[in-house]
Amino acid sequence: MQTRKLGNSGLEVSALGFGCMGLSYGYGPATDKSQAIALIRTAFERGVTFFDTAEAYGPFVNEELVGEAVAPFRDKIVIATKFGFRDGKVEAGLDSRPANIRAFTDAALKRLKTDRIDLLYQHRVDPEVAVEEVAGAVKDLIAAGKVAHFGMSEAGAQTIRRAHAVQKVTALQSEYSLWWREPEKEILPTLEELGIGFVPFSPLGKGFLTGAITESTTFDQNDFRNIVPRFSSSARKANQALVDLLGAIAKAKGVTPAQIALAWLLAQRPWIVPIPGTTKLHRLEENIGAAAVALTDADRRAIADILASVTVEGDRYPAHLQARVGR
């Protein structure tokens, strides 16, 4: 697989990363540990060198899983993880106090079975802690050799600028896909100006852009899509038009809708590195195949016409989660 550099940082990773969250958290029962480890190792064998996790995915168990899975090739890959929730629990609220960042880092190093974290993200901006303090704490961890690069997740443009002035931000991780293009307004120009890479999560619209989800699909009781307005039955029915139109382009090119969605993201900027996640080998192979899909000018115009003709229905988060993004 080709590689990309995240902005001006020099941090080089595979053009597509692997979002590991769904192996342990968020989409129903955790994947069998041996199967999850095998999937991560297969991703590496296929050229993936960028693996994303967080203390909140479990909490803690996803970091432990990733640490065990990548141990045989640790020095050949980049591990990204995230701090910022009290005791690692999303429901407990935010906590980006410097003392918590330091404690998290020491614990995460043990869980990940490593001596440094390649990319350390603040998971969500904490309004109770000045971002300059957060950036300063990570700067100290970088000086100590425990962390290599600083990242932010779902931060707003002005907050990114404030943090970057204290410690250079290597990457921003936020949602971006064919059905969530909000970052194009202010975030992408800011990142381009500052030389910061962009790591889109949910690049396949939490699975919807694959074409495998319909209005009649039912989710596991622990699947967080049950509370996402965009995944209500009526919204899925309305949004199916987007998938159908993309499917026609995919069929003409002999690829899948998911591959079109990922190829479109890769074509937006050379410093964008999507991190699709999956629990299935065939989906992993499909996602990796997207890195070789070249979109022609005609393809991109056709996609632009589709995006202009379809209005996606439903908010991407319920109100209490939306309040934590874009700060």
The catalytic residues are 57
The DSSP call for residue 29 is S
Three-state DSSP class for residue 89: coil
Cα distance between residue 100 and residue 109, in whole Å: 14
When computed from its CA atoms, the radius of gyration of the chain, rounded to whole angstroms, is 19
Provide the edge-to-edge strand list for the sheet that holds 78-83. Answer: 18-19, 50-52, 78-83, 117-122, 147-153, 169-175, 197-201
77, β-bridge pairs: none
Residue-wise DSSP of 36-69: HHHHHHHHHHTT--EEE--TTTTTTHHHHHHHHH
The DSSP call for residue 202 is S
